[in-house]
C-alpha cells in the first residue's frame, strides 16, 4: 500500500460576487476530498478573492433552498482541514490587504507555489 500523500489543489477563479450560485460546488468538492482523508488546498484568484474578505462573510452562496453564507462554507471547510488562501496578486489588485481577510482564511499564496504543490506526486488540480 502506498504511503504517498494524496491531495487536491482547487483554484477558484470564475466565481465572483455576482455569481454566488457557482461557489457552492468548489466548497462541496473540497469538503468531500477532505472527508476522504485527502489534503486539500483552495486558492482564490481573480475576482473570486473577494469572497475571502471579512466584509462579505454574510453573503449567500449556492442556489435554491440550500444557500449558505460564505462564512459557513469557510468554517465547515477549515474544520475538515482544508487550507484556504487568497492569491497574492488578486488580493492586491482588489485593493485589499491581508488584514481584510476572513478569519478562516490561512493567508496568501502565490500562483507558482500553488501550482508546484498541485503538481506534486499524489496531487490533482481542479479549476472552478
Question: For position 3, what pLDDT does the model report?
Answer: 67
C-alpha to C-alpha distance for 100 and 109, rounded to whole angstroms: 15
1 domain residue, yes or no? no
Q: How far apart are CA 39 and CA 81, in angstroms?
A: 7
CATH number for the domain spanning 21: value is 3.40.1260.10
Is 92 inside any structural domain? yes
**Which pLDDT score is estimated for 4?**
77
pLDDT for position 2: 57
In a domain, 22, yes or no: yes
**pLDDT string in tens for the chain (128-residue length):** 556 789 999 999 999 999 999 999 999 999 999 999 999 999 999 999 999 999 999 999 988 888 999 999 999 999 999 999 999 999 999 999 999 999 999 999 999 999 999 999 999 999 99
Q: What is the largest CA-CA distance in the chain?
A: 48
What is the predicted pLDDT for the residue at 103?
97
Provide the number of structural domains found in the chain: 1
CA distance 13 to 21: 14
Domain with 12, as residue range(s), is 7-127
Amino acid at each position: 500500500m502506498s504511503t504517498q500523500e494524496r491531495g487536491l489543489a482547487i483554484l477558484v477563479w470564475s466565481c465572483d460576487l455576482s455569481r454566488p450560485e457557482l461557489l457552492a460546488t468548489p466548497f462541496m468538492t473540497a469538503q468531500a476530498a477532505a472527508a476522504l482523508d485527502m489534503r486539500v488546498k483552495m486558492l482564490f484568484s481573480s475576482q473570486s478573492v473577494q469572497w475571502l474578505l471579512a466584509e462579505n462573510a454574510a453573503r449567500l452562496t449556492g442556489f435554491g433552498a440550500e444557500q449558505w453564507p460564505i462564512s459557513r462554507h469557510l468554517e465547515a471547510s477549515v474544520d475538515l482541514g482544508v487550507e484556504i488562501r487568497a492569491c497574492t496578486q488578486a488580493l492586491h489588485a482588489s485593493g485589499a490587504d491581508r488584514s481584510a481577510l476572513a478569519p478562516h482564511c490561512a493567508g496568501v499564496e502565490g500562483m507558482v507555489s500553488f501550482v508546484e504543490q498541485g503538481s506534486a506526486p499524489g496531487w490533482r488540480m481542479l479549476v472552478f
